[in-house]
């Protein structure tokens, strides 16, 4: 009895679910009623037009639905005046819309009174510019059967196509683009370390020995320090062998003595009582003593020396501890301006012959999808090593770039070194290519709402683009961004060989 009761409950639930699914399907069919509309696509003025036109029969109402997309953003046209001029065998019908019927969509309804060839001209003027489209090879039929047969003949039939409505693409990170041909050349894929450029770093050293004390606790690695700013004071008064006060007194005495001697010889030189060489020797000793004295006087205060930086930059490393004894000539800290950087990559010797033909490089930050070109960073290849050794069997290749703030010295980046090529190849954006169990696919546009999953063979990649060696033609259009969305749509069963809908 309990078993029968359970079976009854399961049957009831199944009937309820079937009813719900039936209702949902009917609502979906009502919203996307496929009626063999003629679909046409055109591009002009930075805009994409995807038009759907119901079969045209004399004295019967025709609906023209125009989906308009900005190509730079792949978002819908939300404002602008549209004028549709329908020429039926020389008889013109002019229809106007001051604004879209809804975001991205203009809809025109007209009733042709004559049969014959049709040309549709659609002009859209908006704040960002204007675009004009011409749709031809259309016909108004006298017989409804012939009109629907013509529409059926034009309908796209493809078993491996995926429907992706414009409304969904507008709301997604999605775009399409024509297949490109470019000089891909050879690609050397490697890893490079970011290093400071020579001349971009300076090391500040102690001029005397003594106890070094930081002037501020805010001076830490990574902080900015201006030119001429003091970093520490060195107290040399407690050191018997290198007392700064004694040095200052000695320098002052030597300066005064040299000055007096030079002035004395100057007065004697006027009476020709000294030689020119004696006066020159005295002048040299005076200027040397003056330089030493002025240097100590500038930095000497109460038995200590103030250490300043000659130019501004970021503190890379502090090389002493606060309160530590330092010796004359000891490095105290390293300052980097961090304006230019070097990328040092190591490649295998088999690429040696290609390095003389390097024309650029792409740089991808690790754990990021951001790819920078060498050109956009104002970079260049500096050099590459001409020999290797047992200890270092790889060729070092050095590039120099401007630091745009995204690069951290000491870290590593992924590099795609590009070499020149004698011919051009078909390329697509790297994100357009999907991998599935070792096979590679792209989605090719059949209409702006219908996409074919196409298997391709890939070649070289520079991190931004991938070479397609087989599977694409040069005049096709592919999904550049959002391929994964089409794949998910296909997984959900949105395959429709008669893509299109009546809005």
DSSP letters along 14-48, please? HHHHHHHHHHHHHHHHHHT-----EEEEEEETTEE
Q: In this structure, are residues 112 and 93 in contact, taking their beta carbons and an 8 Å threshold? A: yes
Query: Rounded CA gap, 153 and 289, in Å?
Result: 101
pLDDT of residue 8: 43
Question: Which residue did the predictor score with more confidence, 198 or 483?
Answer: 483
278-291 pLDDT, tens digit per residue, is: 888 888 888 888 88
CA dihedral 167, 169, 173, 178 (to 10 degrees): -150
Query: Rounded CA gap, 284 and 391, in Å?
Result: 52
Confidence of residue 242 (pLDDT cuts 50, 70, 90): low
Confidence of residue 239 (pLDDT cuts 50, 70, 90): low
Kindly state the average pLDDT of the residues 223-239. Answer: 80
Domain 244-302 annotated CATH 1.10.287.470: yes
pLDDT of residue 262: 82
pLDDT of residue 6: 44
Query: Rounded CA gap, 312 and 319, in Å?
Result: 18
Q: Assess whether pLDDT exceeds 80 at residue 34.
A: no
Confidence of residue 250 (pLDDT cuts 50, 70, 90): confident
Confidence of residue 501 (pLDDT cuts 50, 70, 90): very low
Distances (CA, A) of 424 to 104, 282, 351, 385: 37, 74, 21, 30
- Count of CB atoms situated within 10 Å of the CB of 211: 18
Q: In this structure, are residues 221 and 315 in contact, taking their beta carbons and an 8 Å threshold? A: yes
Kindly state the average pLDDT of the residues 403-420. Answer: 86
321-356 pLDDT, tens digit per residue, is: 888 898 888 988 888 877 788 999 999 999 898 898
94-103 pLDDT, tens digit per residue, is: 999 999 999 9
pLDDT of residue 90: 93
Closest CA to 292 of 238, 325, 334, 250: 250
- The region, left, alpha or beta by phi > 0 then psi within -120 to 50, assigned to residue 211 is beta
Q: What CATH number was assigned to the domain covering residues 38-155?
A: 2.60.40.1940
35-90 pLDDT, tens digit per residue, is: 579 999 999 999 999 999 999 999 999 999 999 999 999 999 999 999 999 999 99
Kindly state the average pLDDT of the residues 230-246. Answer: 68
Kindly state the average pLDDT of the residues 180-201. Answer: 85
Percent of the chain with pLDDT over 70: 86
443-473 pLDDT, tens digit per residue, is: 999 999 999 999 999 998 888 899 999 999 9
Question: Which residue did the predictor score with more confidence, 160 or 32?
Answer: 160
Which option is the CATH number for 201-236+308-337: 1.20.140.10, 3.40.1670.10, 2.40.50.100, 3.30.499.10?
2.40.50.100
DSSP 8-class letter at 432: G
Confidence of residue 131 (pLDDT cuts 50, 70, 90): very high
User: In whole angstroms, how large is the CA radius of gyration of the chain?
Assistant: 39
Query: Rounded CA gap, 412 and 428, in Å?
Result: 26
**Least confident among 88-102, 372-386, 395-409, 451-465:** 395-409
Kindly state the average pLDDT of the residues 354-372. Answer: 87
pLDDT of residue 11: 43
Closest CA to 318 of 212, 244, 407: 212
- Count of CB atoms situated within 10 Å of the CB of 353: 9
Average pLDDT, the chain: 84
pTM: 0.64
Confidence of residue 477 (pLDDT cuts 50, 70, 90): very high
The number of angstroms, rounded, from the C-alpha of 389 to the middle of its chain's C-alpha atoms is 37
Confidence of residue 12 (pLDDT cuts 50, 70, 90): very low
pLDDT of residue 9: 39
Kindly state the average pLDDT of the residues 195-222. Answer: 82
Question: Which residue did the predictor score with more confidence, 301 or 371?
Answer: 371
Query: Rounded CA gap, 163 and 497, in Å?
Result: 8
- Token pair, residue 357, equals 């033909």
pLDDT of residue 32: 40
CATH topology of domain 178-188+340-491: 2.40.420
Q: In this structure, are residues 162 and 443 in contact, taking their beta carbons and an 8 Å threshold? A: yes
């Amino acid at each position: 009895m309990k078993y029968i009761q359970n079976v009854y409950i399961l049957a009831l639930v199944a009937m309820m679910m079937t009813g719900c699914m039936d209702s949902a399907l009917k609502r979906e069919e009502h919203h996307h009623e496929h009626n063999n509309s003629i679909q046409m696509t055109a591009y002009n003025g930075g805009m994409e037009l995807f038009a759907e036109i119901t079969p045209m029969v004399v004295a019967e109402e025709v609906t023209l639905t125009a989906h308009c997309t900005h190509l730079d953003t792949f978002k819908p046209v939300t404002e602008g005046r549209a004028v549709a001029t329908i020429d039926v065998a020389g008889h013109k019908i002019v229809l106007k819309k001051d604004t879209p019927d809804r975001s991205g969509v203009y809809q025109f309804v007209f009733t042709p009174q004559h049969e014959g060839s049709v040309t549709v001209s659609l002009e859209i003027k908006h704040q960002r510019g204007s675009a004009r489209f011409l749709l031809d090879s259309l016909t108004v039929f006298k017989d409804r059967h012939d009109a629907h047969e013509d529409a059926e003949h034009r309908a796209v039939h493809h078993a491996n196509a995926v429907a992706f409505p414009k409304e969904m693409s507008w709301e997604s990170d999605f775009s399409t683009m024509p297949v490109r041909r470019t000089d891909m050349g050879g690609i050397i894929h490697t890893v490079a370390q970011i290093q400071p450029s020579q001349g971009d770093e300076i090391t500040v050293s102690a001029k005397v020995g003594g106890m070094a004390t930081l002037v501020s606790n805010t001076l830490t690695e990574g902080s900015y320090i201006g030119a001429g700013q003091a970093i520490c004071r060195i107290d040399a008064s407690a050191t018997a062998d290198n007392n700064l006060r004694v040095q200052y007194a000695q320098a002052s005495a030597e300066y005064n003595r040299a000055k007096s001697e030079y002035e004395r010889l100057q007065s004697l030189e006027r009476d020709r009582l000294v030689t020119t060489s004696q006066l020159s020797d005295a002048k040299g000793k005076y200027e040397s003593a003056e330089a030493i004295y002025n240097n100590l006087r500038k930095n000497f205060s109460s038995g200590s020396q103030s250490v300043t930086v000659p130019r501004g930059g970021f503190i890379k490393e502090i090389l002493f501890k606060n309160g530590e004894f330092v010796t004359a000539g000891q490095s105290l800290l390293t300052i980097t301006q961090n304006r230019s950087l070097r990328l040092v990559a190591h490649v295998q010797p088999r690429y040696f012959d290609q390095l003389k033909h390097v024309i650029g490089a792409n740089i991808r930050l690790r754990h990021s999808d951001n790819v920078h070109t060498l050109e956009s960073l104002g970079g260049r290849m500096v050099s590459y090593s001409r020999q290797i050794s047992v200890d270092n069997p790889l060729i070092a290749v050095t590039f120099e770039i401007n630091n745009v703030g995204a690069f951290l010295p000491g870290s590593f980046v992924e590099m795609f070194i590009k070499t020149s090529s004698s011919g051009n190849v078909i390329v697509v954006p790297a994100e357009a290519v999907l991998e599935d169990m070792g096979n590679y696919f792209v989605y090719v546009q059949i209409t702006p709402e219908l996409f074919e999953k196409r298997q391709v063979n890939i070649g070289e990649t520079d991190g931004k683009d991938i070479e397609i060696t087989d599977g694409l033609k040069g005049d096709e259009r592919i999904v550049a961004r959002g391929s994964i969305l089409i794949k998910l749509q296909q997984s959900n069963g949105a395959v429709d060989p008669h893509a299109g809908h009546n809005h």
